[in-house]
Amino acid sequence: MAEKPRKALRSRSVAETVRGRISRGGTRLWKHADFQDLPPTAVAKALSRLAQEGFVQRVAKGVYYHPELTSFGPSVASSSAVSAGTITAHVHPAGLSAANVLGLTSQNPHRTEFATTAPAPPGALRAFVVHTGRPAEREHLSSEEGAILEVLRERAESSDLSPEQTVDRLLRLLAERDRFKRLARAAMPEPPRVRAMLGALGEELDMPPRLLDPLRKSLNPLSRYDFGHLSSLRNARRWQAK
Average the pLDDT over each of 57-66, 103-112, 169-178, 228-237 and give the range with the smallest value. Answer: 57-66
CATH class of the structural domain 8-82: mainly alpha
Pairwise CA distance, residues 101 & 94, whole Å: 9
Give residue 55's pLDDT.
Answer: 86
Pairwise CA distance, residues 22 & 51, whole Å: 12
Sequence spans of domains, the chain: 8-82
Of 10 and 9, which is predicted with more confidence? Answer: 10
For 154-198, give the secondary structure using H, E and C.
CCCCCCCCCHHHHHHHHHHHHCCCCHHHHHHHHCCCCCHHHHHHH
DSSP 137: G
SS3 call for 113: strand
Pairwise CA distance, residues 135 & 114, whole Å: 14
pTM above 0.85, yes or no: no
Pairwise CA distance, residues 150 & 211, whole Å: 20
Give residue 68's pLDDT.
Answer: 55
Q: Which of 156, 158, 105, 115 is nearest to 137 (CA)?
A: 115
For the ranges 45-54, 84-93, 112-121, 157-166, the one whose mean pLDDT is highest? 157-166
| pLDDT tens, residue by residue, 185-222 | 999 999 999 999 999 999 999 999 999 999 999 999 99
| pLDDT tens, residue by residue, 81-116 | 444 455 556 788 899 988 988 889 988 777 778 898
